[in-house]
Amino acid sequence: MSNGIPIKLLHEATNFVVEIHLNTGDSYRGTLKYVEDNMNCWLTNVVHTQKDGQQIKFDKTYVRGSNILYFDLPEMLLNARLFKTGETEVKKKYSGKLRRTFMTVKVRKQSK
């Protein structure tokens, strides 16, 4: 089974500082050491911020992928080799009467 772009991007983010936000409202900020295909993550040098704002420090922690709401990744990953082109390309493949259209990713910077 082939992994999608989000999972490949998480693999590119290993050894970078990331922030993980959970469904419960808590967040973890630390160095991403390992990520599995189901988004289970292993972090080191972690600061756990609870919903009420209290912060707790850990050396290591493991976050289950099904509890993750979203990731905050470093902006330098916009230059990852995963994103080779900055423009949308449409590739059409014809198979008899069946027509399929495939699109590649377009990278956009977030406005601040």
Residue 19 lies in a domain: yes
Q: Using the structure block, give the residue that is written with the tokens 């972690």.
A: 46
Provide the residue range defining the domain that includes 42. Answer: 5-82
Does the pTM surpass 0.75? The reply is no
The count of structural domains within the chain is: 1
Residue 40 lies in a domain: yes
Q: Tell me: the pLDDT tens digits for 54-111? A: 999 999 999 999 999 999 988 887 777 776 654 444 455 554 444 444 444 455 555 5
